[in-house]
Amino acid sequence: MNGVTIAENLPEYNEDTLIAKSLPQCKFCKNMSRPNVSMFGDVEFYGKPYEHQRKRLDEWFTNIKKNNKKLVILEIGCGINPHSLRMSNGKMMSGEWKMPIFDNIIGTIRLNPNDEQEEINTIHISKGAKDGIHALFM
């Protein structure tokens, strides 16, 4: 990919089965290293940094509503899975994030080269993130 390293020190794996021969380890405690992303039923997710960001997001939403501002959602590559971060008429399709319903939404701009669905107040741009953002601002 143009000489850019995307990841380093990936474990060796069997190319036929895609099963890793070893798992990455924390360089400090030697336990298995893993990304801090919340997965379904994840009991090891460390949520403190996200709690702070969620508080800031909730304050932002409150200010938008209080000041009667209008909102346009820009989705980038969310896909059509109901568990994605995709919005539908101001409501997040997945209840996992417990997002409020945006009753002051103007519409959605959706960037996705593959998954297109007709939806009221939605502009679909059939491009990937880089090309789609470039198309929006040029």
CA-to-CA separations, 75 to 23, 88, 110, 111, in angstroms, rounded: 33, 11, 5, 6
Element (H, E) at 74: strand 71-76
* Cα distance between residue 79 and residue 26, in whole Å: 32
The pLDDT of residue 88: 62
CA 61 remoteness from chain centre: 18
16-25, 30-39, 53-62: least confidently modelled range: 30-39
Please give the structure tokens belonging to residue 46: 């460390």
pLDDT bracket for residue 23 (50, 70, 90)? confident
The pLDDT of residue 108: 83
**Would you give the DSSP letter of residue 32?**
B
pTM, whole model, 2 decimals?
0.58
